[in-house]
């Protein structure tokens, strides 16, 4: 029988079960590699916090093997696409720079007819076959406006082609911090294979020598990954906004974290991945942040994108990642990075270096 007990905080405030739980533990310290053994549990449609709690228990899978395969599975899921599949994409070239990749089929079926916007180059001494924009579109503003009209047209003609249109622009640039050649609707970014960036924050609490992570459950009304587990705070990096400014904004909107706390978040690195699926070519870099929160802090969503939150021991969060597909896929990578940096995965674990390196499988430029 599973027993869940709310933990008292030092200031005598007690959280009820919707926020904090501490499952009965089966022993073993966090320095032991066996704390992170692999067991596969299928994702459930409409899973509950009770399902999350059950899968997180140390004794939920007593026959786990002592390896990191559950983590590697999540890395693999974020980096789909063989070299053969990637060869079906052709470079998007702007001003002699590759800024993206477009699937042959997507270009032929949807973009080729917009001849005043997109130009197919069958052979180029430098880039080979590629796609570029009409030379009459000479400024970032013109390109943004015209390509935006194409995206709107496609979305109106075929609603499911580019789902999740949100009127948020991503910069189209060959590398982070470079001046953008134009800006593109966020939902269309994978269809043009542009580099996309985001900020993800691990919000954690220390208590009695143990660390806990605040985990969010996405609203079932979200356009992408509805109802899945997520970080306390995360968001894509839109055009014209710095990482710090975006993080502070997301802290307030997603978790009600005031500036007095959010400005203490520490930049701790980045993870990256390349995921190719159908017409989509995702080249994402996620900037990672840590924020230690007061023991009595309770997140409160402000924008309707998070259904609820729960504070979970870090070891148990790791179990959920290894055993289930409850987390939004790229969140697993950021939490794995946290596990490395905070000593929850040690060199004694078989595959340590391979897993560490695989967290940056994509181009981090």
- pLDDT at 33 (0 to 100): 53
- Residue with the two structure tokens 């400005």: 263
Copy the structure tokens of residue 189. 């970014």
- pLDDT at 215 (0 to 100): 98
Copy the structure tokens of residue 284. 């994402």
Cα gap 77→61, rounded to integer Å:
22
| pLDDT for residue 318 is more than 80 | yes
| pLDDT for residue 234 is more than 70 | yes
Copy the structure tokens of residue 285. 């870099």
| pLDDT for residue 342 is more than 80 | yes
Count of beta carbons in the 10 Å neighbourhood of residue 70: 24
Beta strands 280-292 and 195-207, pairing class: parallel
Run of H or E residues at 310:
strand 306-313
| pLDDT for residue 27 is more than 70 | no
**Mean pLDDT of the 232-249 span:** 97
- pLDDT at 124 (0 to 100): 86
| pLDDT for residue 116 is more than 70 | yes
**Mean pLDDT of the 247-266 span:** 98
What distance lies between CA 334 and its chain's CA centroid? 8
Copy the structure tokens of residue 100. 């993206």
Q: Which residues contact 207 (CB under 8 A, 6 or more apart)?
A: 7, 9, 10, 295
**Mean pLDDT of the 177-187 span:** 97
**Mean pLDDT of the 295-311 span:** 97
Task: Indicate the average pLDDT of the chain.
Answer: 88
Run of H or E residues at 206:
strand 195-207
| pLDDT for residue 45 is more than 80 | no
Copy the structure tokens of residue 45. 């449609």
Higher pLDDT, 44 or 112: 112
Span 133-147, pLDDT tens digits: 999 999 999 999 999
Give the single-character DSSP code of 325: S
**Mean pLDDT of the 304-314 span:** 97
- pLDDT at 10 (0 to 100): 28
Cα gap 342→339, rounded to integer Å:
5
The band of 63, judged by pLDDT with boundaries at 50, 70 and 90, is low
The band of 62, judged by pLDDT with boundaries at 50, 70 and 90, is low
| pLDDT for residue 277 is more than 90 | yes
Alpha carbon of 108 to those of 89, 229, 362: distances in Å?
A: 12, 37, 27
| pLDDT for residue 76 is more than 90 | yes
Count of beta carbons in the 10 Å neighbourhood of residue 293: 20
Query: Poorest-confidence range of 41-50, 169-178, 347-356?
Result: 41-50
| pLDDT for residue 43 is more than 70 | no
Copy the structure tokens of residue 236. 């894509």
The band of 80, judged by pLDDT with boundaries at 50, 70 and 90, is very high
For residues 269 and 337, is the Cβ–Cβ distance under 8 A?
yes
- pLDDT at 34 (0 to 100): 42
**Mean pLDDT of the 186-208 span:** 97
**Mean pLDDT of the 144-166 span:** 93
Cα gap 339→337, rounded to integer Å:
5
The band of 173, judged by pLDDT with boundaries at 50, 70 and 90, is very high
The band of 9, judged by pLDDT with boundaries at 50, 70 and 90, is very low
Cα gap 225→334, rounded to integer Å:
17
- pLDDT at 329 (0 to 100): 97
């Amino acid at each position: 029988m599973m027993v869940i007990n709310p933990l008292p905080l030092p200031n005598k405030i007690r959280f009820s079960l919707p926020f904090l739980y501490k499952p009965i533990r089966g022993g073993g310290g966090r320095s032991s590699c066996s704390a992170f053994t692999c067991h596969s549990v299928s994702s459930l449609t409409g899973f509950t916090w009770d399902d999350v709690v059950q899968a997180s228990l140390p004794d939920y899978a007593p026959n786990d093997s002592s390896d990191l395969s559950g983590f590697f599975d999540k890395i693999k899921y974020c980096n789909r696409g063989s070299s053969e599949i990637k060869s079906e994409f052709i470079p998007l070239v702007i001003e002699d720079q590759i800024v993206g990749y477009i699937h042959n089929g997507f270009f032929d079926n949807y973009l080729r007819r917009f001849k005043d916007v997109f130009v197919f180059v069958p052979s180029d001494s430098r880039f080979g076959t590629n796609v570029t924009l009409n030379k009459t579109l000479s400024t970032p503003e013109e390109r943004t406006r015209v390509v935006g009209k194409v995206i709107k047209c496609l979305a109106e003609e075929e609603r499911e082609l580019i789902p999740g249109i949100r009127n948020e622009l991503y910069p189209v640039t060959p590398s982070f911090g470079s001046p953008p050649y134009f800006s593109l609707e966020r939902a269309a970014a994978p269809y043009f294979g542009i580099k996309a960036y985001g900020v993800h924050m691990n919000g954690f609490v220390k208590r009695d020598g143990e660390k806990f992570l605040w985990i969010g459950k996405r609203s079932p009304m979200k356009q992408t990954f509805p109802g899945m587990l997520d970080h306390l705070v995360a968001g894509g990096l839109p055009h014209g906004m710095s990482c710090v400014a975006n993080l502070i904004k997301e802290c307030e909107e997603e978790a009600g974290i005031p500036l007095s706390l959010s400005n203490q978040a520490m930049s701790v690195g980045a993870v990256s991945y390349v995921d190719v699926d159908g017409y989509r070519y995702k080249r994402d870099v996620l900037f990672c942040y840590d924020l230690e929160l007061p023991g009595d802090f309770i997140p409160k969503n402000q924008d309707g994108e998070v259904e609820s939150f729960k504070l979970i021991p870090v070891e148990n969060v790791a179990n959920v990642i290894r055993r289930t597909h409850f987390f939004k896929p790229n969140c697993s990578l950021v939490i794995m990075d946290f596990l490395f940096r905070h000593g929850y995965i040690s060199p004694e674990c078989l595959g340590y270096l391979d897993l560490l390196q695989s967290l940056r499988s994509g181009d981090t430029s």
